[in-house]
Structure 1
Amino acid sequence: MNVSLSPQVYTTIICWLLFSIIWLWQRNKTKENVSTRTVSQKIAAFSGYVIIFSALYLPLFFTKGTVAESIIPQYDIIQNFGVLLCVCGIFTSIWSRLLLGWNWSGGVTAKKDHELIVTGPYRFVRHPIYTGFIAALIGTCLVTGGIVGIVITGLYIFGLYAKINKEEQLLADLFGDVYSDYQKRTCKLIPFLW
C-alpha cells in the first residue's frame, strides 16, 4: 500500500461516514420542490460522490509508481493539518445542513415556502455547506495525498463554482432586495475573503 492506514486516515474516513449518515438521515426531511429533479440528475449526483470518494482513497489500495500514487509527503504536521481541515469542514457542513433544514435541496431548485437562513455559519458565508465540504476534501487530500484525489477535488471545486452562481441567481430571484442586502454583508464561500 502506498498510504498507511494511519490514525489520520481513519479519522477522515470516520468524518466522511458521519457526513454520509447525516445526509442520508436528512435526505427526505425537506419541503416540496417547486421543480423536481430528474432521475438522471440524482444518478449523476450520486455517481459524482462515488468518484470523489474513490479518488480520495485510491492511494490506500495502489502501490507507488501508479497514477494513484501519493504525491504529498506523509509528515505528521501535514497529516494533522489535513485532519483538522477535514473535521472542521465536516462539522461546518453538517451544522449548516441542519440549520438549512427543510429548505435544503440537492439540486438548484426552489422549495415551497422557501426561507432564507442567515444564522450560524450563514452569517459569514452564503454557502457554508460547500465551504465545509471543500475544506474536508482538501484536508483528506493532505492526508492521503493522491494525485487523482487532488485533480478530482480541483475539478469538483471548479464545477461547484458554476452551481453556486446558479444558486445565487435563484435566491436573488426568490428574495430580491433581502438577498441583495445579505450578499453585501456576507462572503460567497470563504469567510472574510470571498
Structure 2
Amino acid sequence: MSVNSTVFIYITLSSWALFCICWLLLRNRNKENIQTRTSRQRFMGALGYLVIFTALYMSLFIQGHRLLPTNLYIQAIGAILCMVGVATAIWSRVLLGTNWSGGVTAKKDHELIVRGPYRLIRHPIYTGFVAAMAGTCLVTGGWSAIIVSTIYTLGLCMKINREETLLNELFPGTYAVYQQHTRKLIPFIW
C-alpha cells in the first residue's frame, strides 16, 4: 500500500469518525417517539453499524481481499465522495433536528422538513450515507465492502418505502405534493 493510498484511507476514517461523533452528540436530542424503539432494535442498529464499518475496512487486514485495483485517481474520487456523503448526512441530520429517529416511527408534533438538501431529495441522510459507503469502497476496494454496501442500500430502499407510507399518513396531501417536487435518493434522477 502506497503512502498516497494511506492518505485516502485516513480521509475516509476521519470522515466516518466525524459522522459517529455527530450521531452520538445528537442521539438524545429528539422528540419523543409515539411508538418507542425496543432495546433490541437499538442494539441491532448499533450492531449493523459495526458490521458495516468492519466490512468497509476488512481489505486492509486480509491479504487478497481487494477486488478493485489500487488506483490513486479512483481512490481520490472515493475519498471526496466519502467526505461529501458524510457532510450531506450530517447537514441533513442537523436540519431534521428533533424529528430524527433511527427507526421508522412518528414523533410527537412531527414536522415535515423541506429546506436544505430536503428541497431536492426526501432522504438526504441515506443519500449521504450511501455516497460515503460507495466512496469508502472505492478507497479500500474490498469485496466485503462492496457486498455490504449493496445489501445495506437495498435495505434502505425498503426502509424508505416504509417511511414514505408513514409520512403520507402523518402529512396527508402535503407529503404527496412534496413527493412530486423531489426525488427519493438521487437528486434529479430517483
* TM-score of the superposed pair, with normalisation by structure 2: 0.97
Counterpart position of 2:56: 56
- Secondary structure of 2:17's partner? helix
2:85 aligned residue (89, 108, 125): 89
Whether 2:22 is the aligned partner of 1:22: answer: yes
Q: For the residues of structure 2 that align with 1:73 and 1:174, how far apart are their CA atoms?
A: 47
1:63 Cα deviation after fit = 1.3
What are the within-5 Å matches in structure 2 for residues 111-122 of structure 1?
A: 111-122=107-118
Letter in 2 for 1:163: K
1:68-118: per-residue Cα shift (whole Å, max 9, x none)? x11111111100010111011000000000000000000000000000000
- Cα distance in 2 for partners of 1:135, 1:74 equals 19
More displaced 10-residue stretch of structure 1: 7-16 or 70-79: 70-79
C-alpha distance in 1, partners of 2:87/2:184? Answer: 19
Q: 4+ runs of 1 displaced by more than 3 Å?
A: 1-5
Secondary structure at the aligned position of 2:28 is classed as: coil
Match of 1:38 in 2: 38
- Alignment partner of 1:137 is 2:133: yes
Say which SS state the counterpart of residue 132 (structure 2) adopts.
Answer: helix
RMSD of Structure 2 on Structure 1 (CA): 1.5
Relative to the length of structure 1, the TM-score reads 0.95
Q: Which amino acid letter does the alignment assign opposite residue 96 of structure 2?
A: L
Q: Distance in 1 between matches of 2:16 and 2:106?
A: 27
Query: What 5-or-longer segments of structure 2 have no aligned partner?
Result: none
Q: How much identity, in percent, do the aligned residues show?
A: 55
Which residue is 1:11 aligned to? 11
1:62, distance to aligned residue in structure 2 (A): 1.3
What one-letter code is carried by the residue in structure 1 that aligns with 2:17? L
Within the candidate set 95, 100, 104, 1:99 is matched to: 95
Q: Distance in 2 between matches of 1:36 and 1:135?
A: 29
Q: Residue type of the partner of 1:88?
A: V
